[in-house]
Structure 1
Amino acid sequence: MTGTRERWAAYAERIATVSPSYAAWARSVDDDLVALLDAVPEQQRQPELVFAVARRLGADPVDPGSLRALGREARPALVTALTTATVQANDPRRLGPVVPVLQALAAAGAQVGDPRPLGLVDAGAAAGLCSVPDRVTLDHRGPDGVVRVHTAVAEPSVHLTVEASGTVPEPTTTPIRIGARVALDPEPIDLAEPGAFDRLVEAVPPEATDRTALMREAARATLAVPPVRIRGVLPGDLDRALDALPDGVRPVVLTTGTLVYVPGPDRQRVVDRLAERGVHWVALERTGILRGVAATLPDDVDATDPDAFATVSLDGVALAVCDPFGVRVRWFRRPGA
């Protein structure tokens, strides 16, 4: 099993070109900090989660030594905060790979004469920035140029461009229609509250000003169609979230970088309960953490490849792999095919 130091070294290499400050923080981990991290649940040791908590406690990412200093000087507070932390950056770029999947579900309903809109449960929603796939205008950039895949149904909206390769989904004119949105999270963020957006971007590297700007656009779109917020966790509160959807919608559960924060044995319980409920499940999760999904990957997918960091799947079947941010996607199955 890969240890904490090795995982953080791999993260530093992956993030270096995006955020030198976060890469330096990750490389600053010493034996004392490793021991501290090993004292918290494994799913709570994700670097950006740790960095968000550290920044909240006063560590400055511009100072590479400030993370070690925090570990020495505020060890009990850091351990306590990490044990209960639920910070997610909720990056709306992750919608890029899942919009075609949700669009395929919408088109499939139209083809069989089912007029119901989708009822979306965004599990691990944070502030719900990924609860607005219908408000995404998506372009695919490939060898033959740029192709418009989906047009936002209303404003305010978010414009995303994805580098798409492989068996790329065919563009359709079917819009994603969402009749209800439920945001399930241990600590859901209400963007209408003062300071909520600042809390949301705690995990974003300080250099990533474009990412923060995109999140601000997504926040405006989310405020226009706010989800019903439910405080809860997977798998225990999945049924409660699904039951909060009204009649007259087609239930779909969306997880985007959520299950890495769910303890290992509970991940399969989530998958099993989704199957028992008979609802669609669209996922963008780290490659390899779900055994059933991993078994449907092509043999040539290497989970250590940065461009195969995450797997896009529908109902447990892998459709594509992508980089951590969802901006480079290699498709090998068309959703709905």
Structure 2
Amino acid sequence: MTERIAAAYDDFGRRWAHGTSPLYEEWSTGIAGDREVLARLAALPAPVRQPNRIFAAARWAGSPLTGYPQWREWLAANWDRVVEVAAVRTTQTNEPARCATLLPQLAAIPGPLALLEVGTAAGLCLFPDRYAYEYTAPDGAHRLGESPVVVPCRIDDAAAVPERLPDVVWRRGIDLAPIDAADPDAIDWLATLVWPGPDHAGRVARLRAAAEIAAADPPGIVRGDLLETLPEVAASAPADATLVIFHSAVLLYLDEDERRRFVELVDEVRAARDGGVVWISNESSGTLPPVDALVTPGLDTDRRFVQSVDGAPVALAGQHGATYEVRPFGAA
């Protein structure tokens, strides 16, 4: 058990936090080699001991943002409080900047769109048409939209830069524990889930501004298991709109059978609507084997999602929306 936990923390530090959050990389790799802390983690339920959840719970409880030796002393002295927070708070990273990596695909879909996000948290990614975007491409800067929420994104092909905002006529979300964007405490927790580090400067302010947009016009969010509620919620989408089912870093929390069932459900929804459905997935490699099988062997996917549309990989999307790469897949 402790070896598996050590491997998970080492992977989190070296694969995901490396180069983007030096402090979380140090904490993760420190824990990976710390038998006492690993033993404490092994006593917790699997969802509670996730790195981002433990780290955010520690920060919520007042931990210092210091190197591992000092932080570890604090953690040992405040372990019960950290576990108490982690037991009632969940990992629901709700990064509105991910819309910058969704927009190239959304803008290419004709007609009005009905957006359905699974694992939506506060629904901040349901408003791609309400944000502004600053794409930096090889040919220069491209600005799209006007909004208090401005999302920067580096894109590797000018042809992939979207030229318009989507026409969204319906937006719904599904989540086991929906977050009210108007709840200050809930938004404070989402802000605590933002990683420390220079690459994440601006994310908290952007999150809070996006929460204000969502609070002013709340999307319909259904509380429930996505495997149980997806068909019913999808059936309520307007028939004259293209239904877009999307998610980011959600399916990794399902087991292999549950992931297969989710893909089957998407196919069932598509059949029920006589087509008219687009499925956009942003998940780390290893989550959807049929998608991985279509990715060029040896392609470096660390710190990025493999974005797929209807099961075909189309881009590498930065996990927090900062980058979008289509060239590894041959075309914009």
CA–CA distance in structure 1, aligned partners of residues 257 and 103 of structure 2: 29
1:7 aligns with 2:8: yes
- Select the residue among 21, 29, 40 that pairs with 1:19: 21
1:65-109 CA distance string (max 9 Å, x none) = 54575467645972x76566532221122111111111112x3x4
Structure 1 unmatched runs, 5+? 110-116
CA–CA distance in structure 2, aligned partners of residues 166 and 35 of structure 1: 47
1:225-279 CA distance string (max 9 Å, x none) = 3211211123222223323434543221110121122233211211111011113
Q: Using a 3 Å threshold, how does the CA distance of structure 1 residues 171 and 322 change in structure 2: closer, same or farther? A: closer
1:192-207 to 2 correspondence within 5 Å?
A: 192-207=182-197
1:43 Cα offset (Å): 5.5
- Select the residue among 122, 128, 141 that pairs with 1:133: 128
Greater displacement, 248-257 / 42-51: 42-51
Q: RMSD over aligned Cα, in angstroms? A: 3.0
SS of residue matched to 1:133 = coil
Is the CA contact 1:283–1:314 (under 8 Å) kept in the aligned structure 2? yes
- Select the residue among 237, 249, 255 that pairs with 2:247: 255
- Select the residue among 182, 188, 199 that pairs with 2:172: 182
- Select the residue among 88, 91, 96 that pairs with 2:92: 88
Q: Using a 3 Å threshold, how does the CA distance of structure 1 residues 251 and 67 change in structure 2: closer, same or farther? A: farther
1:173-198 CA distance string (max 9 Å, x none) = 4x301111112111111111242321
1:285-296 to 2 correspondence within 5 Å?
A: 285-296=283-294
Q: Using a 3 Å threshold, how does the CA distance of structure 1 residues 275 and 38 change in structure 2: closer, same or farther? A: farther
CA–CA distance in structure 2, aligned partners of residues 124 and 136 of structure 1: 20
The aligned counterpart of 2:300 is 302
Q: Using a 3 Å threshold, how does the CA distance of structure 1 residues 119 and 69 change in structure 2: closer, same or farther? A: same
CA–CA distance in structure 2, aligned partners of residues 81 and 268 of structure 1: 32
1:167-246 to 2 correspondence within 5 Å?
A: 168-169=159-160, 171-173=162-164, 175-207=165-197, 208-246=200-238
SS of residue matched to 1:181 = strand
Q: Using a 3 Å threshold, how does the CA distance of structure 1 residues 299 and 334 change in structure 2: closer, same or farther? A: same
Is the CA contact 2:59–2:192 (under 8 Å) kept in the aligned structure 1? yes
Greater displacement, 45-54 / 287-296: 45-54
1:203 Cα offset (Å): 0.9
**Which stretches of structure 1, 4 residues or more, deviate above 6 A after TM superposition?**
none
CA–CA distance in structure 2, aligned partners of residues 258 and 191 of structure 1: 19
1:280 aligns with 2:271: no
| TM-score, structure 2 normalization | 0.82
Q: Using a 3 Å threshold, how does the CA distance of structure 1 residues 32 and 240 change in structure 2: closer, same or farther? A: farther
The aligned counterpart of 2:273 is none
1:52 aligns with 2:56: yes
CA–CA distance in structure 1, aligned partners of residues 47 and 331 of structure 2: 31
1:141 Cα offset (Å): 1.7
Q: Which amino acid counterpart does residue 302 of structure 1 have in structure 2?
A: D
1:157 Cα offset (Å): 4.7
Q: Using a 3 Å threshold, how does the CA distance of structure 1 residues 118 and 71 change in structure 2: closer, same or farther? A: farther
SS of residue matched to 1:33 = helix
Residue-pair matches, total: 317
Q: Which amino acid counterpart does residue 256 of structure 2 have in structure 1?
A: G
